[in-house]
Amino acid sequence: MTTTVKTKHRAMWASGDYPAVASELVAPLGPELVEATGIGPGQTVLDVAAGTGNAAIPAALAGAQVTASDLTPELLAVGEKNAPAAASAKLTWVEADAEDLPFETASFDTVISCIGVMFAPFHQAAAAELLRVCRPGGTIGLINWTPEGFIGQMFATMKPYAAPPPPGAQPPPLWGDPAHLSSLFGDGVTDVSVERRNLRVDHLGSGAAFRDYFKVNYGPTIAVYRNIAGEPARVAALDAELLALAERHDTGGGAMNWEYLLYTARRAPR
C-alpha cells in the first residue's frame, strides 16, 4: 500500500504547474527560512521535500553545501534547470521520500523544509527522519501552513470532496500546529522557537482568479476536482465554497494574507 500511496503523491505533485505556484506565489518563504535558520558558508544543509528549490537555492547562495531532496523528480528537474550558476556548484538534487531518507544518520548541520514535508502523509515517520539525519546540536527549520490560516482552511474546505486518505495519514496543516510539532519531535529537540507569520499574496486579483488558478496549477486541488469530475453538482458546490473562502480572506483587490508557522529548533544531544 505504501508504494501505491507514494506513486499517487508523486503524480499529484507532478500534475498542473507547481513550479508556477512556487515562483509566482510562495517564493519569499524560502529565503525567510534560510535567514531564520542562520544558514551560511561551511554548513551542510538538507532541504526535505524541496520541490523546485525555493529554500535550497537561497541556502546554496548563502554559501552552504546543499542537498535538495524531493519525492517528485519533475520538480527537482525544474529546480536544477533554473538554479543560478552561483548556487548550482553547491547543490545536489536527490529523489527521496521524506519518510525514508537515503542519507546517513547525523549527516547534516541543518535540516529544513519549506511547505514541503508537511505533505508527507505519515507525520511521525517524516519527523523521525528529520531528527535522524540532523547532527546533534544541529538546526531543524520548518515553514508550514497553519490549520487556521487560508491554505489550512482551503484543505478543510476540499476535504469532503477528496478521496479518502490512506489509513494512518494525517492532514498536512497539522504541521502548522505547535502542539502537533511538539508531539512529533518530543525530546528530540531543544531551544524550540515558533512564530506565526503571514505571506502577502496579491498576484491573483480576485477570489475567482485564485480558485481558477489553483484548479489548473496546484496538485492537491487538481486531485480533488478529479475525484468529483463525474458529479457536476459537487463540482459547482466546491467552486462556490472556494470562492467564498477566498472572498472572506480578501483584504482588498483580491490580496490575501496566508498564515504560516515558522519553526526552528536545535537537535538534542544524543
pLDDT of residue 4: 86
pLDDT of residue 1: 42
The b/e string for 136-168 (b: 16+ C-beta within 10 A; e otherwise) is eebbbbbbbbbbebbbbbbbeebeebbeeeeee
In sign, the C-alpha dihedral spanning 11, 17, 19, 24 is negative
The pLDDT value given to residue 134: 98
Predicted pLDDT of residue 2: 67
| Tens digits of pLDDT across the chain (270 residues) | 467 889 999 999 999 999 999 999 999 999 999 999 999 999 999 999 999 999 999 999 999 999 999 999 999 999 999 999 999 999 999 999 999 999 999 999 999 999 999 999 999 999 999 999 999 999 999 999 999 999 999 999 999 999 999 999 999 999 999 999 999 999 999 999 999 999 999 988 899 999 999 999 999 999 999 999 999 999 999 999 999 999 999 999 889 999 999 999 999 997
pTM of the model: 0.96
pLDDT at 104: 98
- Interatomic CA distance for residues 22 and 97, integer angstroms: 20
- CB neighbourhood size of 239 (10 A): 15
Domains and CATH numbers, the chain: 2-200+257-267 (3.40.50.150)
Other beta carbons less than 10 A from residue 135's beta carbon = 16
Q: How far is residue 73 from each of residues 12, 53, 80, 95, 215, measured CA to CA in Å?
A: 12, 12, 10, 6, 22
C-alpha 183/C-alpha 186 separation (Å) is 5
| Cα–Cα–Cα angle for 101, 106, 107, rounded to 5 degrees | 75
